[in-house]
Amino acid sequence: MRSARLPRCVLAIGAAALVFVAAGGTAHASEGVKHVGVQGGFAGVSGGDGKFPGFGGAITGRYDFTDAWSIALNATGTNNQVAATGGRSWVFSQAVGAVYSLDVIQIVPYLGGYVGVYEITGGGVPKTDLKLGAQIAVGLDWMVSRDLTLGVELREHILPKDLFDSGTNPTPFYTTTFVKAEYAWGWF
């Protein structure tokens, strides 16, 4: 009696897996696809005299070399309290980097590394300061269609000079958590 249930169970699991895969859609990654997007959400500064809560946004662009690898550009602006006194300051960054995406049907996790220039100005900052920095991005995209992607991204910004300059280190670590929307074109 038990042996008759096993094949039905295996068939049911197999049928459910087939329905899941068929309903999931197809993978959308491809060489030569171009992306442009907007992001917005929370930004925070840790370390020094800064306070964590802030807000910001970004404009992004990306070009897919392969199904997995892309080159990406981003311009980010955030507003944070980075000094103990004075008002809120602006932190701007422009960065270029590489992104590795793991295309899994319509849900696409990714990891990226960037280098860029940061400008910290206004508020409690006595003068505009330009700094070199690095970024590590981790995200999850949902490909609504070939043209539209929605997602969430956590990006850690590291300003190496501030790590070693403890007297004036308003932003050694800086984090953004953004939701995003992207438009893609160039599918073959």
Share of the chain above pLDDT 90, in %: 48
What's domain 28-185's architecture?
Answer: Beta Barrel (2.40)
pLDDT in tens, 51-87: 667 899 999 999 999 989 999 999 999 998 877 777 8
What is the model's pLDDT at position 99? 96
Compute the distance between CA of residue 109 and CA of residue 137 in angstroms, rounded to an integer. 11
In which residue are the tokens 């960037």 written?
Answer: 114
56 Cβ contact partners less than 8 Å away, ≥ 6 residues apart: 40, 41, 42, 43, 76, 77, 78, 79, 91, 176, 178
The band of 42, judged by pLDDT with boundaries at 50, 70 and 90, is very high
pLDDT in tens, 98-143: 999 987 678 999 999 999 999 989 887 888 889 899 999 999 999 9
Residues 108/102, Cβ–Cβ less than 8 Å: yes
**Taking residues 148-174, what's their average pLDDT?**
79
What is the model's pLDDT at position 112? 97
Q: Residue 14, Cβ neighbours under 10 Å: how many?
A: 10
Residues 166/48, Cβ–Cβ less than 8 Å: no
> Where are the domains positioned within the chain?
28-185
What's the whole-model pTM score?
A: 0.77
Q: Which tokens is 53 given?
A: 């809560």
144 Cβ contact partners less than 8 Å away, ≥ 6 residues apart: 106, 150
Residues 143/60, Cβ–Cβ less than 8 Å: no
Lowest mean pLDDT among 22-26, 76-80, 104-108, 179-183: 22-26
Residue 154 has pLDDT above 70, yes or no: yes
